[in-house]
Structure 1
Amino acid sequence: MTTSDALRYTRISTHGSGTIPAAGFGTLIPDPLATKQATKAALEAGFRHLDCAERYRNEEAVGDAMREAFEEGTLQRRDLFVTTKLWNTNHRPERVKPAFDASRRRLQVDTIDCYIIHTPFAFRPGDEQDPRDERGRVIYDSGVTLAQTWQAMERLVDDGHCRSIGLSDITVEKLREIVAIARIRPAMVQVESHPYLPEWDLLDFCREHGIVLQAFAALGHAMEPSVLQDPVITAIAQRVHKTPAQVALAWAVQRGTAFLTTSTKPQRIRESFDISALPEDSMEEIRDRITTSVRFNAVVETGVPGFIPRAK
């Protein structure tokens, strides 16, 4: 890992020759206009890693924000690391490249820095993103394996418009299976991770194989129990004169992971980028004194994204 004087500019090396900006801005924002405005605010704040997805249905808005920044001369394409994702209904090998090319067109870029399989679960292929049977159950696709989808992803890198590939919402056991058969190893895996779900085993495996672990829901997604109200986090925040959110994001980068954060509020976006290194004793406190263990998103079990409030 290479770190400049400011933690916010950290870039993490992959097993290849590239590096990935640790601070990432997620674009899971329902309204396209809000998506465009938030993306522009993120770029102005200093974020240089944008995380997108076919599933979010707003790639055009992200593309518009990037294009305007390029036209204004404030940024060049090489300044940005752009990630987007293959949705579950496009796992069959013949559907991978058309889905990838469609994302490129919507994002208005010639190359994608990292193309990620959104979940390891294949859904029935077709235009319906969330296929369900008459009883409301997800219709899965048993006609394709994750290994076959991965091989199609590898061919995207061969073709030259995709710089790297990765996986999301994956367990360490499933990641081991892909690494074992991969001709081109994942550059990045994206999973829920925060002080209540540190995923140390997965992080150790990623380090061993030169894979970047990127944490989504790095602040706990405003769920209960609240990461940002944890007494260990709030006490550290008071000591270092930062917000609890800034403490949690600094912890993510200092332990060697990238993170994603999302907001539509410019002030909150700037705050999320304005992180500083924590004292080592604070890092140890978070690791040793926080004992709460919670996964907020059950997508790793079903392939269906979504944060479900816990019963009280």
Structure 2
Amino acid sequence: MEAPDTLRLTKIPLVHGAGAMPALGFGTLIPDPVATREATRAALEVGFRHLDCAERYRNEDAVGDAMQEAFKAGAIRRSDVFVTTKLWNSNHRPERVEPAFEASRERLQLDFVDCYLIHTPFAFRPGDDQEPRDERGQIVYDSGVTLLETWRAMERLVDEGRARAIGLSNVNLETVQEIVGAARIKPAVVEVESHPYLPEWDLLDYCRRQGIALLAFAALGHAMAPRLLDDPVIAGIARRLGRTPAQVALAWAVQRGAALLTTSVKRSRIEENFDISTIPEDAMQEIRDKVATTIRFNSVVETGVPGFIPSGR
């Protein structure tokens, strides 16, 4: 009897913290809080056990409500779910890190967070305004704090057991190397945009060598043009294997050693994105060799300002 395919249950070991992170993650960048709650509940029911949140999304309380419903119903336990959230740019000053973390933890209704990320390496003017702008409408950055100073404050959260693991997001290879070289506690996770149109092979290879989990957001290209799921290589493989283009792209991500995030408010899409299985090695190589498009969909890595809002997929 053939063994069942377990790709969807893959976990990525972490260098510190909660042991391992489920490779299939559900992103909660959903503008409407009611939709957030319903989509998060659906994701947990379908089988997702990794939730990716952020202070910046302004909906952590809705995610927390959905989790608490699942816990109280006895469907899953807190120990079953890996929860990531993020420190926003206006809280990079070391004295602001702990209060920002505690506010996120309370909104999520959790005793601890499995992973806490610096959302971007850019510090904005500290305060309650998430996107402080000057009279010309330009973002006001904060030159009074370095990323390493923020990282030191993040390390203290690990020391105290409130964040099991810490990491970086929206960074390039050079920034990751800088923090790894100076850190007392090395990043466990690096979250960046990555998909077959932006494979980030150099960053993935570096993370592998360092034992860092690479977490890919926009794993399906966020339905932006050029549409990743319409790519002839990926679509052709999907037809050949009897799967959807999304399932092919997600399997590719996991099989190359990355974790990933998908987001949807539609239960059918959530089910599709969880229902992945291993694709043949020749398909993996075909994606690497024959996908010709190269594009970054989100400019946040250059500015610290989010470059897109989620589609309705």
Q: How would you bin the TM-score normalised by the shorter chain?
A: over 0.9
- Residue 245 (structure 1) aligns with: 246
- Residue 63 (structure 1) aligns with: 64
The 5 A counterparts of 1:69-148 are 69-148=70-149
- The one-letter amino acid paired with 2:10 is T
The reply to whether residue 36 of structure 1 matches residue 32 of structure 2 is no
- Residue 13 (structure 2) aligns with: 13
- Residue 202 (structure 1) aligns with: 203
Distance 2:123 2:209 in 1: 28
- Residue 272 (structure 2) aligns with: 271
Q: Secondary structure at the match of 2:84?
A: strand
Q: Secondary structure at the match of 1:25?
A: strand
Distance 2:151 2:209 in 1: 20
Query: Would you say how many aligned residue pairs link Structure 1 and Structure 2?
Result: 305
Distance 1:217 1:268 in 2: 15
Distance 2:207 2:165 in 1: 15
- The one-letter amino acid paired with 1:74 is A
Q: Secondary structure at the match of 2:101?
A: helix
Distance 2:107 2:304 in 1: 24
Give the % identical residues: 70
The reply to whether residue 223 of structure 1 matches residue 215 of structure 2 is no
Instruction: State the TM-score, normalizing by the size of structure 1.
Output: 0.96
Distance 1:14 1:26 in 2: 19
Gaps of 5+ in 2: none
Distance 2:277 2:159 in 1: 38
Distance 2:78 2:177 in 1: 33
Distance 2:170 2:104 in 1: 20
- Answer yes or no: is the 8 Å Cα contact 2:12–2:22 preserved in 1: yes
Distance 2:241 2:46 in 1: 22
Distance 1:32 1:210 in 2: 35
- Residue 285 (structure 2) aligns with: 284
Deviation, structure 1 residue 225: 1.0
Deviation, structure 1 residue 6: 1.3
Distance 2:295 2:112 in 1: 37
Distance 1:99 1:124 in 2: 15
The reply to whether residue 212 of structure 1 matches residue 221 of structure 2 is no
